[in-house]
């Protein structure tokens, strides 16, 4: 049976994640308050940030930046796309 959470990103009750998606306190908050669907949305947004800013996720500064953006994405004012970002044609 799947676990339900009141998703802070989607504003509705939805299927939760089976495991912590990220380590530490932030990971616990996400696990308790973010749905699987919203986490997938974050992963797409994070990929765009990594590509647009040419980040190397193993570098501490890049990890710190991504963690701050993750916090804003779920619990703050939202993580913005880079000004230069152009949506790809579908």
pLDDT in tens, 46-65: 999 999 999 999 999 999 99
Q: What is the pLDDT of residues 1-19, one digit of tens each?
A: 589 999 999 999 999 999 9
pLDDT value for 80: 76
CB-based contact 9:74 (threshold 8 Å): yes
CB-based contact 26:63 (threshold 8 Å): no
Percent of the chain with pLDDT over 70: 92
Q: What are the chain's domains?
A: 4-75 (1.10.3880.10)
pLDDT value for 81: 76
pLDDT value for 1: 58
For residue 85, name the pLDDT band (cuts at 50, 70, 90): low
The residues, any chain, with a CB within 8 Å of residue 10's CB and separated by 6 or more, are: 35, 37, 38
For the record, the structure tokens of 54 come out as 């040419």
pLDDT value for 15: 97
């Amino acid at each position: 049976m799947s676990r339900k959470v009141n998703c802070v990103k989607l504003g509705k009750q939805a299927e939760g994640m089976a495991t912590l998606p990220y380590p530490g306190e932030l990971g616990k908050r996400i696990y308790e308050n973010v749905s699987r669907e919203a986490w997938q949305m974050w992963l797409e947004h994070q990929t765009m940030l990594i590509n647009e800013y040419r980040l190397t996720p193993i570098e501490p500064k890049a990890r710190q930046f991504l963690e701050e953006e993750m916090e804003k994405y779920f619990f703050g004012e939202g993580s913005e796309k880079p000004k230069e970002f152009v949506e790809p044609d579908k």
